[in-house]
Amino acid sequence: MAPIAPRSGDAVFANVERVNAELFTLTYGAIVRQLLTDLEEVEEVNKQLDQMGYNIGIRLIDEFLAKSNVSRCVDFKETAEVIAKVGFKMFLGVSASVTNWDADGTCCSLILEDNPLVDFVELPDTCQGLYYCNVLSGVIRGALEMVSMKTEVTWVRDMLRGDDAYELKVKLLKQVPEEYPYKDDE
Amino acid sequence: MQFFGGSDISPSPPVTTGSGDNGHMMYIFNRNGVCLLYREWNRPLKTLDAQQDHKLMFGLLFSLKSFTAKMDPTSVEKGNLGLPQLPGQGCSFHSFRTNTYKLSFMESPSGIKIILVTSPKTGDLRESLKYIYNLYVEYVVKNPLYTPGTPIR
Amino acid sequence: MIGVGKLKQYTNVLEKPLSKGKQEVSLSAFAFLFSELVQYNQTQVDNISELERRLEDAGYAVGARVLELLCHREKVADSLEKGTEHEDEYMISEKEPLVNRFISIPKDMGTFNCGAFVAGIVRGVLDNAGFPAVVTAHFVPVEGQQRPRTTILIKFAEEVLRREARLG
């Protein structure tokens, strides 16, 4: 049995079931709205969105692996490219570009060319500290943790805050090897 | 939890070789060694309690993976025996056969391990394992009421 | 930097070109997001009806916005008006709405129905179009099928019926 070649983001996206992006956008909006009502503090909302993203990420990784046939990445550079070109495309139908690599190849930027989360969104003055798309950073962190990479994902630029693009910084903290999970005396 | 018999599953089941009735057991583990699912169809002999049985199975795979990678004649990056590997690192085995049973195994890069124990005459089950992985994704992972890392009900 | 050149900054959301209306995301992206909506709300409630009410609220917010979008595209639903001529109850029946597609409900959650979210959307649309109504989601068993279908029951407020009768 020859190994199956990984599929391109476009190919995967063309083959999965899709829904109207507005339903998705508005549902996300409803979640953010609920959080703002429940939690009051914008900082808490950012945290909760990141946590929700993380919860999604640790599930979504298996769907990603099952549908894309990506079996493993040689290094973090390849991983970042796969997220940008296959991951974003497969789930959100948009692609991202990878830039700003640091010298040792452990830190880079993902720049979103289109962001379906933010259609129709404008932040009111009361929510100025809100990272509206914080769910995305959580998703990436959660998904990478499941393939043994501890990362830190932060927003560098956010158009809702007046920047000219959506830019996420992804920093690889360490690769965690798989350990024997049971203690001997158990 | 309804695992089999779903009406419209997107990927179609692979054609299995041989006739039915040759499956013994199935295990699904996550990356932390939690047994998410255990099913048996034909297991006349049981000597251990369930928890010990799951641990032993997980331990067998864990060591075997480490040994097979160490003995790989084609790869330079081998690491030391017993030292933890990154999932997907090194080569990996997909089945072994004894005179009484065959064990087929797959591991996703996210550390999900699926094991089928069948009759020794069973053919290549890699497509079937992949199919089960797809079922896991569709019916377990996407269930809004499923908490990751807990046994599948 | 690739791609950045294409981005244009809009200081006001109203300056953005109204979206093409045909964009799509993957169903699983929606399923995962909805999953989180359910899980988060589970942490905020003590019982199932409370959970359904919160999902309905979230749906309502979506429904209200959906209507705005529909109006922008000049496609206000006219089938609605026609529908109200005779009875006060309407049903939308779906074999498996998106939100219930991946769910399997443990026994201890009884009749919990994620369709509450859809009911909320419908109520949001109707309410903002001037048709206040009570909208609820129910499981209806189907003979010979393991999974029930979900029915969205719409019961219009009396004022709507009176008004329609006058116009009618």
CATH numbers and ranges of domains, chain A: 41-175 (3.30.1380.20)
Residue A73 pLDDT greater than 70, yes or no:
yes
The set of chains that have 3 or more CB pairs under 8 A with C is A, B
Distance CA B129, CA B114 (A): 7
pLDDT of the residue at A3: 52
The pLDDT assigned to A106 comes to 92
Q: Which of residues 134-163 of C touch B (CB under 8 A)?
A: 146
Whether residue C58 contacts residue C122, with contact meaning beta carbons closer than 8 Å, is answered with no
Nearest to A83 by CA among A100, A66, A65: A65
How many C-beta atoms lie closer than 10 Å to residue B62's C-beta? Answer: 20
Q: What is the pLDDT of residues C106-148, one digit of tens each?
A: 767 767 888 888 888 888 888 888 888 888 888 888 787 777 8
Q: Is the pLDDT higher at A93 or at C4? A: A93
**Which structure tokens are listed for C26?**
């993957």
Angle among Cα C131, A118, A132 to the nearest 5 degrees reads 105
Residue of B nearest to A59 (CA): B141
| C66 vs A: CB within 8 A | yes
Is residue C48's pLDDT more than 50?
A: yes
B18-45 average pLDDT score: 84
3-state SS of chain A: helix, strand, coil percent to 5?
Answer: 50, 15, 35
Could you tell me if B72 and B78 are in contact, meaning their C-beta atoms sit under 8 angstroms apart?
Answer: yes
Condensed to tens digits (0 to 9), the pLDDT of residues A12-27 reads 888 888 888 888 999 9
Q: What is the pLDDT of residues B60-103, one digit of tens each?
A: 998 888 888 888 887 666 555 555 556 556 677 899 999 999 99
**Token pair recorded at residue A4:** 């199956």
- pLDDT for position A151: 95
Rounded distance between C-alpha atoms, residue A35 and residue A132, angstroms: 11
Q: Which of residues 88-147 of B touch C (CB under 8 A)?
A: 138-139, 142-146
Could you tell me which residues of chain B have a Cβ less than 8 Å from any Cβ in chain A? 10, 31-34, 55, 58-59, 62, 83-89, 108-112, 124, 126-127, 130, 133-134, 136-137, 141-142, 148
Which chain A residue is nearest to residue B148, measuring alpha carbons?
A: A59
> Are C66 and A22 within 8 A, CB to CB?
yes
**Count of CB atoms situated within 10 Å of the CB of A23:** 18
Q: What is the distance between the alpha carbons of residues A23 and A14, in angstroms, rounded to a whole number?
A: 19
Task: Identify the closest residue of chain C to A48 by CA–CA distance.
Answer: C40
The pTM for the full model equals 0.81
CB contact under 8 A, C28 and B144: no
Read off the pLDDT band of C10 (50, 70, 90): very low
Domain architecture of chain B: domains with CATH:
29-73+80-141 (3.30.450.70)
Q: Assess contact for C59 and C117: CB atoms under 8 A.
A: yes
Q: Which of C37, C104, C109 sits opposite B2 (nearest CB)?
A: C104
| Cβ pair C36:A122 closer than 8 A | no
Cα C34 from Cα C31, distance rounded (Å):
5
Portion of chain B with pLDDT greater than 90, in percent:
38
Partner residue facing B142 (CB), from C35, C37, C114: C35
Whose CA is closest to A26, among C22, C132, C59, C125?
Answer: C59
**Residue C23 Cα, gap to closest chain A Cα (Å):** 5
CB contact under 8 A, A34 and C6: no
Residue of A52, A148, A184 to mutate for B, most B C-beta atoms under 10 A: A148
Q: What is the mean pLDDT of chain A?
A: 88
Q: Look at B73 and A87; give whichever has higher pLDDT.
A: A87
**Alpha-carbon distance B72 to nearest alpha carbon in chain A (angstroms):** 18
Q: Which domains does chain C have, with CATH numbers?
A: 27-167 (3.30.1380.20)
Q: Which of A28-37, B17-26, B61-70, B88-97 shows the highest mean pLDDT?
A: A28-37
CB contact under 8 A, C9 and A116: no
* Residue B39: CB atoms within 10 Å: 13
Query: Cα separation of B27 and B62, whole Å?
Result: 14
Q: A1: which residues sit within 8 A by CB, 6+ positions away?
A: B124, B126, B127
Interchain proximity A178–B84, CB inside 8 Å: yes
Phi, psi for A101 (deg, rounded to 5): -65, 140
Give the closest residue to A13 by CA, choosing from A64, A89, A80. A89
**Contacts by C79-84, CB closer than 8 A, 24 or more apart:** C80/C126, C80/C129, C80/C131, C81/C164, C84/C131, C84/C156, C84/C160, C84/C161, C84/C164
